[in-house]
Amino acid sequence: MDSTVNKLPVITLRNILVDGNKCIGLQFFPSKRIQIFIKTLDKPRWSTVYQMVFLPNTPTHLQQIFNTFKGEAWINCRYFFKNKPIRTQAIASDLNAIHEKHTDKLALGEPACPKEYIQLLETRRYSFNTAKTYTSLFANFIKHNQGKSLIEINELDIKDYIHGIVKQGKSASYQNQVINAIKFYYEQVLDMPQRFYEIDRPRKACKLPLVLSEEEITRLLSVTTNIKHKSILVTIYSCGLRLSELLNLKLTDIQSDRHLLLVRDAKGGKDRTTILCDATLQLLRKYYLMYKPKEYLFEGQGGGLYSSKSVQSILQHSLRQAKIFKPASPHTLRHSFATHLLENGTDLRHIQALLGHSSPKTTELYTQVSTRSLKGIKSPLEKLMIEF
């Protein structure tokens, strides 16, 4: 960067909303020279709400700002122009079913998600499940605000709606999904300013993951006699997969010569590789010879994706057979994979990579359920001379 630019005063442009109109806010450190130039702009006004000078958000006014301060100030557009990347590596989702559902609702006069909302989800390549969740939650928000134009709704209305959800006893995760669904409409579809970021976020509860012991995993897999069902549970546990990752596995994702499994378009649109041990590989070969899947590793009876409900049913049946009465889910097997690796001495950084966690803090949660560091600790009761 030119050293002369660093010496210039900085004017930061902001998207703001004044009396329902989009405006350009100008933030700067006050100086007589800057204020003189400000007065030459086309009818600049002061906002007591945002504590900054503003102009109507038009191409003419934006160009005027650049022309006026050329060589006099550095115009910082970092917060003004959006540069949100589309998930180019993500597989395009088919949202036709969602389009049809909300079109039918509109035809019946029921609250439904706007067409442009679904189209933008499609353009941004959101997964089908995320799109389904967002559209459903935003349709509920529209229903709650029937009689009001969406553009008239402000932060107070949204906070009131979120408060109602809290009173219903919904989880913090559910509340965050609702906020994200609402924010997507105002900030992405309508391209409104970032004032909607001021909505309070619920504190995320720090709950420890449920983990099955190695002995329980052994019992669980031993009682699962159907080779397809066993292959499903073994693959989730031995590779540390999310349920959606298992269902989307294709035959071409198995790299048997390298003993690796390629996980495509996982959470956050990222690809990763995870371990594929020899025992799992041998079981999958037996399964393949018996079932002959064509595209996906695990397919439904008529081909195509296997059902998530079927996987959950398989696990619940095996849990009952193994007399394990913990409220386990397919994700419990992933938690168990990570915890058992940690207890067997695997470095946290390697576990993070295998699980596909963006932040090491997420992986560090398993240190709280691992028993490795607790085995050498003696209770103070052992030093007391007490007989029971």
Catalytic residues: 242, 267, 331, 334, 357, 366
Six-digit token string for 208: 């420890």
Please list, in sequence order, all residues whose beta carbon lies within 8 angstroms of the beta carbon of residue 146, skipping any fewer than 6 positions away: 111
Long-range contacts of 81-89 (CB under 8 A, 24+ apart): 82/191, 84/188, 86/123, 86/124, 86/125, 87/124, 87/125, 87/269, 88/125, 89/265, 89/269, 89/271
Question: What does DSSP assign to residue 253?
Answer: G
Cα–Cα nearest to 324, from 237, 174, 223? 223
> How far apart are alpha carbons 188 and 140 in whole angstroms?
19
CB-facing half-sphere around the CA of 204: CA atoms within 13 A = 6
Question: What does DSSP assign to residue 387?
Answer: -
Q: Are 363 and 341 in contact (CB under 8 A)?
A: no
Strands across the sheet with 74-76, in order? 45-47, 52-56, 21-28, 10-18, 74-76
Residue type, 150: L
> How far apart are alpha carbons 180 and 384 in whole angstroms?
55
> How far apart are alpha carbons 123 and 138 in whole angstroms?
18
> How far apart are alpha carbons 295 and 303 in whole angstroms?
8
Six-digit token string for 31: 């100086």
Six-digit token string for 78: 């970092």
Question: What does DSSP assign to residue 250?
Answer: B
> How far apart are alpha carbons 362 and 220 in whole angstroms?
27
Six-digit token string for 350: 């390697």
- Helix, strand, coil distribution of the chain in percent, nearest 5: 50, 10, 40
